[in-house]
Structure 1
């Protein structure tokens, strides 16, 4: 049975970049709004009413998340200068991120892209502290206090955003800055990524420890759950970043092709190596030996690197269990045709269009000699075109 999953929705499109929103973001917006309103109401008790506090909370929330979008747009703008397209900006419960279509080719490009977000946040902080001064000098007395506090909160929020992101550990911007520095010195991006990954994993353990501390000593389950969840996300993202670069390094060693030279192509987003099955394998062997370990809906069928077809679980379900021993993969696979594969050097746009017209919503990826090198699913390419 297919699992139910809420997909993000598009809130806007900024300079051609989709601004996508996870439903978890709506939850944190409400938290920002409510806490902002209540904290300000307590700070100004006796001087303002509930309505003014709610307006304050709403304006603060909108401007703070606008600041987060500006932070991510800075990454996207510099990435574009480096020839890398931004697929989307995603807002979620812990902030946001810009998803790029490829990786920087040089350490200096990595540095420029990574540092752009924190620089933008520091600049916004400077703008808001300037607004505090202007408000103090020129704003009408009736709104001076509220405006001053609003801009002061936004100053603190942007500086905190920049400082947190500069912590040297993946997947944070500071981790990418550190990787760029180590990469520039050693000329080895994989070794640099390993160091940044280890620091990122260490950071995740510290965040989780803080969550446990809050739970035990302050009996604060909300903050504890948030911190432990954040720690899990940080650890997973750091490990996936290293895994991706390890895959690139292994593929380059095997083929002599540098994936970083193929920005915007299928090679940068495909799953490598693909989980494939031989055409003569019995269905019982496939289910016990492969499906039990790899939970995916489609498997390229190949022998000696040559693509023979695609095995879809939907078609496999039609085979009675009593026939699993005598039925082989070739009997139930979709035979290879042009709709089942895409060249690794094809553009992401081409792959997206082909995937949409594919009956299986899954593609095998082949190199220039027709050898199977990867796979591509609809989930990996959603909203890329």
Structure 2
């Protein structure tokens, strides 16, 4: 089942809605409907108008979040970074980028672009409300004035929140860019991530006594800082090696016309959980344990590998860096890659191969 659905494109970038966004949409609308002004529409009559304004404000808020992410993406694209997509989800939006620019000045501009867009939206909405209400005093008592005030205020808060110096917020990237001008990129990431973890612990302790929601945010920040530190270290260390140096060259394969039952026995005997599917000299796809685990035992004899294999093959070249292969695995959330040269299968690279290389490098 797909967790995200494409709803359109902006600046050539696919925009997706995550299923969690659909869950949070009515929650935000409810919060706006029960809160008193100036942060909600409680008391607005008729009740249907209250709900309509709350829902519209929620939708416009996520449009603002989308514009925030587009700010990042626009600057990133100007530096040649490929943007896979922008996804709106439970905690806001996220831009899926090929990689973060390593040049400190570029990362600084890219990181600040999002909060800058939020500040501009907030200032424009609040400024427009001020000007119109000065010219037409009655406007200050309208629901439109209240809605723009709410959106303006939240965008200012959103911009400030994202400037907190902790991953995965934009402020963490700004802090890393500042450090990276003075030290190596790995060390800069480590320092910025460590600062973020300390910040998260302090926020969690504060939330323990004052607001339980801060504990959840602190956990989100701590995990984000840890993951950024880990993934950046892995990517940079693996840049020194090529796929051909660590791939498995003697690749076991299976034909497409054997049954799933035979495949399961083959997996058990050879102790691997994924195999390329080859017919003659032609690569047809890849099949993994994930593909067979939902097949009922009684159906395994009648179901062929060709029925369940993945035909959309994600591959790398033996001349790609191990770091590039790691990024491909991470972006596509897969555990192994076929290594192909001139349409010929020459090897297979698993996440275990990369992790084993990392362990050797750290010894």
Under a length normalisation based on structure 2, what TM-score does the superposition of the two structures give?
0.70
Q: Distance in 1 between matches of 2:283 and 2:76?
A: 32
- 2:33: which partner in 1? 37
Matched-pair contact (CA < 8 Å) for 1:41–1:49:
no
Q: Deviations over 1:209-267 (max 9, x none)?
A: 455446xxxxxxxx74x554444433332222222211122123446xxxxxxxxxxx9
- 2:352: which partner in 1? none
Q: Distance in 1 between matches of 2:159 and 2:131?
A: 23
Deviation at 1:44, TM superposition (A): 7.3
Q: Distance in 2 between matches of 1:127 and 1:372?
A: 43
Q: Distance in 2 between matches of 1:249 and 1:370?
A: 10
1:22 aligns with 2:18: yes
Shift of the 123–246 alpha-carbon distance from structure 1 to 2, 3 Å rule, reads same
Q: Distance in 2 between matches of 1:370 and 1:28?
A: 40
- Segments of 5+ residues of structure 1 without an aligned counterpart are 215-222, 256-266, 275-299, 342-357
Alignment length, in residue pairs?
A: 304
- 2:190 partner SS: helix
- 2:94 corresponds, among 94, 97, 117, to 97
- 1:117 corresponds, among 105, 114, 136, to 114
- 1:355: which partner in 2? none
- 1:108 partner SS: helix
Deviation at 1:79, TM superposition (A): 0.7
- 1:367 corresponds, among 318, 323, 328, to 318
Shift of the 334–123 alpha-carbon distance from structure 1 to 2, 3 Å rule, reads closer
Matched-pair contact (CA < 8 Å) for 1:88–1:99:
yes
Q: Distance in 2 between matches of 1:76 and 1:29?
A: 24
Matched-pair contact (CA < 8 Å) for 2:238–2:323:
no
> Pairwise mapping of residues 251-266 of structure 1 onto structure 2 (< 5 A)?
251-254=238-241
- 2:299: which partner in 1? none
Q: Distance in 2 between matches of 1:61 and 1:328?
A: 53
Q: Distance in 2 between matches of 1:242 and 1:44?
A: 42
Q: Deviations over 1:136-171 (max 9, x none)?
A: 134583774323222221121001000100000111
Matched-pair contact (CA < 8 Å) for 2:76–2:110:
yes
Q: Distance in 2 between matches of 1:170 and 1:160?
A: 17
- 1:10 corresponds, among 6, 18, 35, to 6
1:81 aligns with 2:78: yes
- 1:242: which partner in 2? 229
1:203 aligns with 2:199: yes
Q: Distance in 2 between matches of 1:193 and 1:245?
A: 7
- Segments of 5+ residues of structure 2 without an aligned counterpart are 286-308, 335-363
Under a length normalisation based on structure 1, what TM-score does the superposition of the two structures give?
0.66
Q: Distance in 2 between matches of 1:86 and 1:52?
A: 39
- 2:171 corresponds, among 167, 171, 174, to 174
- 1:380 corresponds, among 332, 339, 344, to 332
- 1:318: which partner in 2? 264
Instruction: Calculate the aligned-residue CA RMSD, in Å.
Output: 4.0
1:162 aligns with 2:159: yes
- 2:181 partner SS: helix
Shift of the 309–209 alpha-carbon distance from structure 1 to 2, 3 Å rule, reads farther
- 1:59: which partner in 2? 56
Q: Distance in 2 between matches of 1:133 and 1:115?
A: 27
- 1:149 partner SS: helix
Shift of the 158–45 alpha-carbon distance from structure 1 to 2, 3 Å rule, reads closer
Q: Distance in 1 between matches of 2:107 and 2:313?
A: 31
Matched-pair contact (CA < 8 Å) for 2:236–2:323:
no
